[in-house]
Chains A and B, each alone.
Chain A
Amino acid sequence: MKTNRRDFLKLAALGAAGAGTAGALTAEAEASSAPAEFGPDVMAKFYDSTKCIGCQSCVVACYNTNFRDRAKYVDEYLPPEEQNFIEKEDLLPKLAPQDEFTPDKPWLNVVTNDYRFRTVIQKYVDENGKPHFIKHNCMHCKKPGCVSACPVSALQKDPVSGIVTYDAGRCVGCRYCQMACPFNIPKFEWSRAVPKIVKCDMCWSTLGKNGVPTETACAKVCPASAVVYGKRSDHLAEAKKRIAENPGKYYNDSVLGETIYGGTDEIYLAAVDYKKLGFPTDKIADYSYAEKSEGLQHTLYKWGIAPIALYTALAIVGYRNNKKHHSDEGEDK
């Protein structure tokens, strides 16, 4: 075979390499640029670990509102006669076999967030035997990985309130949101034939009747005001005030949620290292990985230029080759 080495594979490979590298570089640049600020009406929950008494009332309130009695709340704005059978099924609080009632443990078995618990309280006991409580739920990131990952817009971030909502009617159950969440928050109903993704939506779909809620189940019942619901800006100011008034009381005098993963709607204060409270703060960067990923995708596929150009080039080359090949064969005969 004597074909010259001006073959297209090289070109194609080079092209791909070029595009890939350029994409990588651009994405780096985009990720490092300052992200958009939080809007004025962004809603958030503010949790102060030092106030929490670990009563788990918020866990029960959330469980009752969003899991056990979910149908009751949804029926108010989506009457049962307008629901199709899958929507009805989605509202049923079905327990997985391993979570069904056992006489030896007649309680709700809480370990971590799962398909029942959109929020949980966990405990860390420090060296002095002092317990520190922490509330784990969706952080409603400014640039959420889950929203960026969802291929069918089932997860969306409300542009005004910043609440990350979930629409089971769109979800295909691919679980990419679970993979993409740096806090491992979205959960899946593994033992159901009709499963859905479960995550905190600040009671958007229950108390809020598919709108910005005026209160959340957890904040409403908290007896110690450890978790409160309101505007993020107010919460951040309050958190800063508490730190200023009690220097040294809070870990590093810092607020969790101010910068982590590019900033989250949720505001946290705690007296110990957040890493010990279950946040992988040492691994999560100060920018959203979603920005990186989207930066790369947008560079490679901007306006569809690259794929269309590639297709056109391939079609032209292929057409000419094919024509030439056919005429060559004709000469052979």
Chain B
Amino acid sequence: MKAVTTATAVMGLPLAMAEQVVAAAEKPDNRPPVIWLHFQECTGCSEALLRANHPGIAEVILELINLEYQETLMAGAGHQAEASLENAIKKYAGKYILIVEGSIPKLDNGVCCQIGGKTAMESFKHAAENAAYVINLGACACNGGIVAIEPNPTQAFGAPEFMPEGKPYINLPGCPPNPYNLLSVVLYLLTFGALPELDAQNRPLFAYGRLIHEHCERRPHFDAGRFVREFGSEEHKLGYCLYHMGCKGPETYANCSIIHFNDGAAWPIGTGCPCIGCTEGSVLFKNSLYSLATVAQPTPNANVPTASPEGLGQGATPTQTAFVGAAVGLAVGAGAVYAARLPKEPEDENK
């Protein structure tokens, strides 16, 4: 119950909805079947989920979802495990939620990543075609992540690249993504039978609708122009803004600055580490960790401009004055000289 209330809050739904969510979550045998596939990844996303306490992982798999296949957690192994995967796909065809963790390689028809003799491409396509929804969990599954860094030796891509046409899917990027966002999405699917509102990159707006920058606890320092310029410096100790240390918060859409990690205990910027932009495919591992972020939604600085500004417009530079003055002077001087050279006798027109 508590777990569900937390998840409801993360989804940004009104508290009254919690009952509906509880009802959906507690309906007997209505635990959604979930198949969780791992490809080229570090299992960090799973690890992050394991560290969630509200709900704990036991609660999740026992009460909220019906986890049919998860390589890290399941007891079975080898051909037995593969057989159970195949069974689950058949049994719950069109009903189960597929969670993908890790990127899928394309090189030489995907030989770089094989499980039970099947390439990642094959097993993903097979599982995705029969899934009700696909959730791409983590930066690798969404955009290729660390595996796809140039020169991308395995030609790895995120799962959307291989998504069967028309299959509803949702991206939950992050390295790792916040486990509560995954939980919220699963519960949302369970409650409403549809995907939550998504942004242009198929990310749920309730979690990825705002910049980290917008709710960052160091934001006032940014507005006032108080920046950390060196790690370990006095400014760093004072908790100033990490923008100049390469923090990607101003261009990264995620709710890290609101819900934090480890059950709200900590998060990177809170510990003095700049954001690396892990939820943005175009930022993470594309821009240097210490390069300056583009401020996606610039705002005025905390200093209100003065009511009597000075020096607006473009005044004259000495070069301009000299040039124009010389030209005009030349013309007038030439005219005067010209007048002096003309005949000075009166012209009598009646002569």
A56 to B307, CA, bound (A): 14
Interface contact A60-B244, CB-CB below 8 Å: no
Is B78 among interface residues, defined by CB-CB distance under 8 A? no
* In the complex, per-residue mask of A40-65: 1 if CB is within 8 Å of any chain B CB, else 0: 00000000000000101001100010
Interface contact A56-B292, CB-CB below 8 Å: no
Interface contact B295-A106, CB-CB below 8 Å: yes
A147 to B223, CA, bound (A): 39
Is B319 among interface residues, defined by CB-CB distance under 8 A? no
On chain A, the residues within 8 Å of B250 by CB distance are 106
Please give me the residue from chain B that is nearest to A133 by CB atom. Answer: B304
Number of interface residues of B (CB under 8 A): 20
Interface contact A106-B309, CB-CB below 8 Å: no
Is B317 among interface residues, defined by CB-CB distance under 8 A? no
Interface contact B309-A112, CB-CB below 8 Å: yes
Which residues from 286 to 324 on chain B have a C-beta closer than 8 Å to any C-beta of chain A? 292, 294-295, 297-301, 304-309, 312
A10 to B307, CA, bound (A): 53
A59 to B301, CA, bound (A): 11
Residue with the greatest number of chain A CB neighbours at <10 A, chosen from B297, B298, B307, B312: B307
Interface contact A124-B300, CB-CB below 8 Å: no
Please give me the residue from chain A that is nearest to B310 by CB atom. Answer: A111
A–B complex contacts, Cβ < 8 Å, 18 sampled: A54-B304, A56-B299, A60-B300, A101-B294, A106-B250, A107-B300, A108-B300, A108-B301, A111-B305, A120-B305, A122-B307, A122-B309, A123-B306, A124-B307, A134-B307, A276-B307, A276-B308, A278-B307
On chain B, the residues within 8 Å of A101 by CB distance are 294-295, 298
Please give me the residue from chain A that is nearest to B243 by CB atom. Answer: A106
Is A277 among interface residues, defined by CB-CB distance under 8 A? yes
Among B222, B299, B312, contact of A108 (Cβ-Cβ < 8 Å): B299
Interface contact A103-B244, CB-CB below 8 Å: yes
Is A172 among interface residues, defined by CB-CB distance under 8 A? no
A155 to B294, CA, bound (A): 36
* In the complex, per-residue mask of B70-93: 1 if CB is within 8 Å of any chain A CB, else 0: 000000000000000000000000
Interface contact A122-B298, CB-CB below 8 Å: no
Interface contact A107-B298, CB-CB below 8 Å: yes
On chain A, the residues within 8 Å of B297 by CB distance are 64
Among A106, A121, A278, contact of B308 (Cβ-Cβ < 8 Å): A278
A110 to B299, CA, bound (A): 9
On chain B, the residues within 8 Å of A121 by CB distance are 304-305
Interface contact A111-B244, CB-CB below 8 Å: no
Given known contacts A108-B299, A111-B309, A103 and B292 CB-to-CB distance under 8 angstroms: yes
Interface contact B304-A56, CB-CB below 8 Å: yes
Interface contact A107-B301, CB-CB below 8 Å: yes
* In the complex, per-residue mask of A105-138: 1 if CB is within 8 Å of any chain B CB, else 0: 1111111100000001111100000011110000
A120 to B312, CA, bound (A): 15
Please give me the residue from chain B that is nearest to A272 by CB atom. Answer: B307
A123 to B312, CA, bound (A): 17
A33 to B259, CA, bound (A): 66
Interface contact A123-B300, CB-CB below 8 Å: no
New A-B pairs, 14, CB < 8 Å, besides A103-B244, A123-B304, A123-B307: A103-B292, A105-B301, A106-B295, A107-B223, A107-B299, A109-B300, A110-B305, A112-B309, A123-B306, A124-B306, A131-B304, A134-B307, A276-B307, A278-B307
Q: Which 8 A-B pairs have the closest CB atoms?
A: A107-B301, A123-B304, A122-B307, A124-B307, A278-B307, A110-B300, A103-B292, A54-B304
A133 to B295, CA, bound (A): 27
Among A109, A122, A278, contact of B304 (Cβ-Cβ < 8 Å): A122
Among A106, A123, A132, A278, contact of B298 (Cβ-Cβ < 8 Å): A106
Interface contact A108-B304, CB-CB below 8 Å: no
Which residues from 235 to 288 on chain B have a C-beta closer than 8 Å to any C-beta of chain A? 243-244, 250
On chain A, the residues within 8 Å of B292 by CB distance are 103, 106
Please give me the residue from chain A that is nearest to B298 by CB atom. Answer: A108
Please give me the residue from chain A that is nearest to B301 by CB atom. Answer: A107
On chain B, the residues within 8 Å of A64 by CB distance are 297
A67 to B258, CA, bound (A): 29
Given known contacts A54-B304, A121-B304, A112 and B312 CB-to-CB distance under 8 angstroms: yes
Please give me the residue from chain B that is nearest to A112 by CB atom. Answer: B309
Among B244, B298, B301, B305, contact of A112 (Cβ-Cβ < 8 Å): B305
A121 to B306, CA, bound (A): 9
* In the complex, per-residue mask of A261-281: 1 if CB is within 8 Å of any chain B CB, else 0: 000000000000000111000
Given known contacts A108-B299, A110-B300, A111-B312, A123 and B305 CB-to-CB distance under 8 angstroms: yes
Please give me the residue from chain A that is nearest to B244 by CB atom. Answer: A103
Task: Tell me the minimal C-beta distance from B223 to chain A in angstroms.
Answer: 8
Task: Tell me the minimal C-beta distance from B297 to chain A in angstroms.
Answer: 8
Task: Tell me the minimal C-beta distance from B246 to chain A in angstroms.
Answer: 11
On chain A, the residues within 8 Å of B243 by CB distance are 106
Interface contact B306-A122, CB-CB below 8 Å: yes
Please give me the residue from chain B that is nearest to A64 by CB atom. Answer: B297
On chain A, the residues within 8 Å of B312 by CB distance are 111-112
Task: Tell me the minimal C-beta distance from A220 to chain B in angstroms.
Answer: 17
A133 to B300, CA, bound (A): 15
Task: Tell me the minimal C-beta distance from A268 to chain B in angstroms.
Answer: 13
A134 to B304, CA, bound (A): 10
Please give me the residue from chain A that is nearest to B291 by CB atom. Answer: A103
Task: Tell me the minimal C-beta distance from A137 to chain B in angstroms.
Answer: 14
On chain A, the residues within 8 Å of B222 by CB distance are 106
A278 to B304, CA, bound (A): 14
A121 to B302, CA, bound (A): 11
